[in-house]
Amino acid sequence: MSADQNSVGELLTATVPMTRTLELEFVETTPERAVVRLPDRPEYHNHVGGPHAGAMFTLGESASGAIVLAAFGDQLHRAVPLAVNATIDYRKLAKGVVTATASLGRPVADVVAELDAGERPEFPVTVDLTRADGAVTAGMTVVWTLRPNA
């Protein structure tokens, strides 16, 4: 699989129905950074008029998955990426379009070296969720693993 921007976004949209349900836009997907946007739709809002916490969580988790696929797409023949755990801190009310920007917490080469050694590597992905004025509305960390195929 090529890990270019279009193929990662298309792959996630094709294989993860929730990305289609929320109409997530994959803006940038590289091994260094993934940027995904959640449109502002009334049907996604909570009781205070911002995006529901579940929609924001899905946005952040999707951005983390996009960077994982961009960074490790060439390893899919021998390992499957899985989220191990996730935490999110809601900081400010989000209004309008929300953008998630994800970054990998470990060098790709180090993770692949562990996989080469027969280990099941774990690595964090940090995500900032921001509104249009640049304010960070939530911070998220998703720990991922590459589970070797049986």
**The predicted structure's pLDDT at residue 6:** 59
Domain count, the chain: 1
- Enclosing domain of residue 95: 5-148
User: Which CATH number covers residue 83?
Assistant: 3.10.129.10
Tens digits of residue pLDDT in 33-68: 999 999 999 999 999 999 999 999 999 999 999 999
- Does the pTM surpass 0.95? The reply is no
Q: Tens of pLDDT along 83-113?
A: 999 999 999 999 999 999 999 999 999 999 9
**% of the chain residues with pLDDT over 90:** 91
Residue 119 pLDDT more than 80? yes
**Position 13 pLDDT exceeds 50:** yes
Share above pLDDT 70 across residues of the chain, in percent, rounded to a whole number: 96
| pLDDT score of 4 more than 80 | no
Say if residue 2's pLDDT is above 50.
Answer: no
Question: Residue 121: which residues within 8 A CB-CB, separation 6 or more?
Answer: 110, 111, 114, 115, 145, 146
When pLDDT is averaged across residues 136-149 and rounded to a whole number, the result is 97
Kindly list the distances between the CA atom of residue 131 and the CA atoms of 21, 44, 64, 85, 117, in Å, as whole numbers in the listed order. 20, 15, 18, 25, 41
